[in-house]
Amino acid sequence: MIRIGIVGGTGYTGVELLRLLSQHPQAQLQVITSRKEAGMPVADMYPSLRKKVNIAFTEPDTQTLKQCDVVFFATPHGVAMAQARELLDADVKVIDLAADFRLKDPAEFQKWYAMEHTCTDLLAEAVYGLAEVNREAIKKARLIGLAGCYPTAVQLGLKPLLTSGQALIDESNIIADCKSGVSGAGRKAEVHTLMAEASDNFKAYGVGGHRHLPEIKQGLNNLSGRETGLIFVPHLTPMIRGILATLYVKVRPEVRDMDFQALYENHYANEPFVDVLPKGGSPETRSVRASNMVRMAVHRPQGGDTLVVLSAIDNLVKGASGQAVQVMNLMFNLPETLGLEQVPILP
């Protein structure tokens, strides 16, 4: 059994980790921390976990966490980098769901997250936690910077086009038009996520620059091996869960006759959590709700030179906690799908 600690178990990604790991046949939930709720049984805060999670929240204590095999940080940015080194020195693997170990350039981190990186020496070792991209490196890793929710939907949506071995698209002009439910903002109380503010409303935000932009660009550059140009515009939608990324790219004239549907189907044929819909399909966020699936479709409107890729995920599962469990499975040489084969819920 894998002894598991979770730092920050009261937020949405924390409770998703608890939901998934409580059903995982090789997971033993050992420590779940929360300064504010220390002493409270987890099931008192989240009744959905009654008879599944029978321990209480505890104060964050590194000595207790050192008794674990892996520690998940479901915390705000900046927390994991303050504790990661001590845990790694105790042979505890670390999976950070925040941004502390996603960006390789500490100056970029400071620019977008308004804080100095305090353990830059670990950035070179940290592996970017997107299994469909870094599977082999993840298997050998002890420190993971988990991919963000928008970056997961965008990178997986574009991966077949950037890794085919030939130039298929104009990589200098990629547009990612993305929509997310309000749970992506976390569980903290903020005016823009109040029901009276977010419901019956639809708006763009971060148009001038969003903190996921450098992460997506870093990933796309790594996939293509070249510098890419990206316009990324996120939107807030009046739903709880889900991300739909609509990606626009220009096809190069020399590959106008390529069968892009076949390209996507072949590329993802052996990926357990990627479902390429049949030609003409359109993935919906509810078709992936509460699951670790990515559903995508590729379109070429009017047979022109613009390719439209649609990529749908649950932001709390494949965009966060489910992806974290998928990565954990790889790190401990378990079947990648273990504990993650839940069918999406409907309605």
Distances, alpha carbon 190 to alpha carbons 78, 183, 186, 235, 236, in Å: 20, 12, 9, 17, 14
Per the domain annotation, does 106 fall within a domain? yes
221 and 304 belong to one structural domain: yes
Domain residues for 189?
Answer: 150-314
Per the domain annotation, does 12 fall within a domain? yes
308 and 159 belong to one structural domain: yes
Confidence at residue 189, expressed as pLDDT on a 0 to 100 scale: 72
115 and 197 belong to one structural domain: no
Where does the pLDDT of residue 100 fall: very low under 50, low under 70, confident under 90, or very high at 90 and above?
very high
Q: What CATH number is given to the structural domain containing 15?
A: 3.40.50.720
**Residue 140 dihedral angles phi and psi, to the nearest 5°:** -100, 0
Confidence at residue 198, expressed as pLDDT on a 0 to 100 scale: 85
95 and 227 belong to one structural domain: no
What mean pLDDT comes out for the span 322-334? 98
107 and 156 belong to one structural domain: no
Where does the pLDDT of residue 271 fall: very low under 50, low under 70, confident under 90, or very high at 90 and above?
very high
178 and 288 belong to one structural domain: yes
pLDDT beyond 90 at 338: yes
Per the domain annotation, does 253 fall within a domain? yes
pLDDT beyond 90 at 244: yes
Of 68, 119, 149, 178, catalytic: 149
pLDDT beyond 80 at 261: yes
CB 145 within 8 A of CB 77: no
pLDDT beyond 80 at 188: no
Domain C-terminal end among 125, 140, 171: 125
Per the domain annotation, does 283 fall within a domain? yes
What mean pLDDT comes out for the span 194-203? 88
Kind and range of the H or E element at 247? strand 243-250
30 and 170 belong to one structural domain: no
Confidence at residue 315, expressed as pLDDT on a 0 to 100 scale: 98
178 carries an active-site annotation: no
What mean pLDDT comes out for the span 161-175? 96
Q: How many domains does the chain have?
A: 2
Confidence at residue 61, expressed as pLDDT on a 0 to 100 scale: 87
Per the domain annotation, does 139 fall within a domain? no
Tens digits of per-residue pLDDT, 42-89?
999 999 999 999 999 999 888 999 999 999 999 999 999 999 999 999
Please give the angle made by the CA atoms of 329, 30 and 14, to the nearest 5 degrees. Answer: 70
Confidence at residue 193, expressed as pLDDT on a 0 to 100 scale: 84
Report the mean per-residue pLDDT for the chain.
96
pLDDT beyond 90 at 195: no
d(CA 228, CA 161): 12
**Residue 281 dihedral angles phi and psi, to the nearest 5°:** -75, 165
Q: What CATH number is given to the structural domain containing 171?
A: 3.30.360.10
Confidence at residue 186, expressed as pLDDT on a 0 to 100 scale: 83
